[in-house]
Amino acid sequence: MVADLPAMRSKLFVPGSRPELFAKALASEADALSFDLEDSVAPARKAEARKALRDFFCSGALAACSKTIIVRINASDTPFFAADIQAMAQTGVHMLNLPKPRDANDVCQTSQAIGQAQIDNKVSGTIGLLLNIETPTALRTAHELALADPRVVGLQLGLGDLFEPLGIARRDIAAIQQAMFAVRMAAGEAGVFAYDAAFADIADEAGFLAEAQQARRLGFLGKSCIHPKQVALANAAFRPSDEEVAHARRVVAAAISADTQDVGAYVVDGKMIDAPFVRRAEAILATADRLGLTD
């Protein structure tokens, strides 16, 4: 699983109704782009945005792009859902992001629709499914949603949609930590990644960075960005430090040596090391490799 994770420290939202921003987004420092057909697009402009995105993808603009490309479609109970999937299952798109999944059956039906759209559009490979956890039901059943279909690659936390209708303060640290922890455990059970929520206060860089650092400490892959100025903050928060990479190298080297001597636990840098710590070190080195931080 570790080797298959994309480099997604930062994921920049791009409204599908703003084609003048598409090329700029491709040139940004964001690891991933999430082209949006949902909240940032008014109902009257859904078809226009869908066509603009499809034309952009079919133009070959993604051919030389190294970023992870995601499209947030509209929820399955909307009249836009089917057309979104049919148009967005295109070569160069790595994931479709499903908001507000209702249950495991909803996830399976979405996966089947993506599969059929890939056949219709002659798109090879597998387009993954990123599920938004942004309702109380989805939070409670997150592990079931993640395990519902092999196409699911990750769970993405949506704190605004989850907290605001319930009167929970969006900046309440205890509530944020509990939601993050629940999503991370569900993702861990399913063997998929967990991804952090957007942060609406664009001017509060310290708040964004603190939340991103909390997400990293809880094992999240990266953080959503609603403005380009947040990208550098996310990239910094989710970059393994030089000290972490060096320690991970020593752990992996010690593990190789211990294996040849049939030793189960050993000490590296004054810390006892066994299998779980080796897996963590391997994950850090895999991330460093993806980011070009290793020789």
Query: At 219, which CATH number?
Result: 3.20.20.60
237 with 216: CB under 8 angstroms? yes
Element (H, E) at 290: helix 275-290
- Mean model confidence pLDDT for the chain: 95
* pLDDT for the residue numbered 295: 66
State which of 235-244, 260-269, 282-291 shows the largest mean pLDDT.
235-244
> Contacts from 201-209 at CB under 8 Å and sequence distance 24+?
202/226, 202/227, 202/229, 202/230, 205/229, 205/230, 205/233, 207/171, 208/233, 208/234, 209/233, 209/236, 209/237
pTM of the model: 0.92
pLDDT exceeds 60 at position 136: yes
Q: What is the mean pLDDT of residues 101-125?
A: 98
Structure tokens at 208: 């964004």
Are 266 and 209 in the same domain?
no
* pLDDT for the residue numbered 4: 65
pLDDT exceeds 60 at position 67: yes
Question: Is residue 75 in some structural domain?
Answer: yes
Q: What is the mean pLDDT of residues 143-171?
A: 97
Last residue of one domain, picked from the residues 237, 261, 277 = 237
Structure tokens at 132: 């938004």
Are 142 and 83 in the same domain?
yes
Name the band, by pLDDT with cuts 50, 70 and 90, for residue 21: very high
Are 259 and 189 in the same domain?
no
Question: Is residue 232 in some structural domain?
Answer: yes
Range of the domain at 266: 242-290
Domain total in the chain: 2
Are 151 and 253 in the same domain?
no
For 237-261, what is each residue's pLDDT tens digit? 999 988 989 999 999 999 999 888 8
What's the half-sphere exposure (Cβ side, CA atoms, 13 Å) at 235? 14
Are 13 and 65 in the same domain?
yes
Question: Is residue 23 in some structural domain?
Answer: yes
* pLDDT for the residue numbered 22: 97
Alpha carbon distance 292, 197 (integer Å): 25
b/e sequence 136-160, b meaning 16+ C-beta within 10 Å: eebbebbbbbbbbbebbbbbbbbbe
Instruction: Give the angle 150-155-161 at the CA atoms, nearest 5°.
Output: 135
The region of weakest confidence among 33-42, 185-194, 256-265 is: 256-265
Q: What is the mean pLDDT of residues 83-88?
A: 98
Are 101 and 218 in the same domain?
yes
Name the band, by pLDDT with cuts 50, 70 and 90, for residue 7: confident
Distances in Å between the alpha carbon of 112 and those of 86, 96, 108, 115, 287? 11, 13, 6, 5, 31
Last residue of one domain, picked from the residues 237, 253, 280 = 237
Alpha carbon distance 256, 241 (integer Å): 23
Q: Which of 226, 187, 232 is nearest to 209 (CA)?
A: 232
Question: Is residue 295 in some structural domain?
Answer: no
Q: Which of 122, 130, 120, 133 is nearest to 151 (CA)?
A: 130
Residue reference for tokens 């295109």: 90
pLDDT exceeds 50 at position 75: yes
Are 97 and 134 in the same domain?
yes
Q: What is the mean pLDDT of residues 234-239?
A: 96
Are 223 and 116 in the same domain?
yes
Q: How many CB atoms lie within 10 A of CB 68?
A: 19
> Which 3 state secondary structure label does DSSP give 205?
helix
Are 249 and 138 in the same domain?
no
What's the half-sphere exposure (Cβ side, CA atoms, 13 Å) at 108? 6
* pLDDT for the residue numbered 124: 95
pLDDT exceeds 70 at position 2: no
For 159-177, what is each residue's pLDDT tens digit? 999 999 999 999 999 999 9
* pLDDT for the residue numbered 262: 85
Share of the chain above pLDDT 90, in %: 86
Question: Is residue 233 in some structural domain?
Answer: yes
Element (H, E) at 15: strand 10-15
* pLDDT for the residue numbered 3: 41
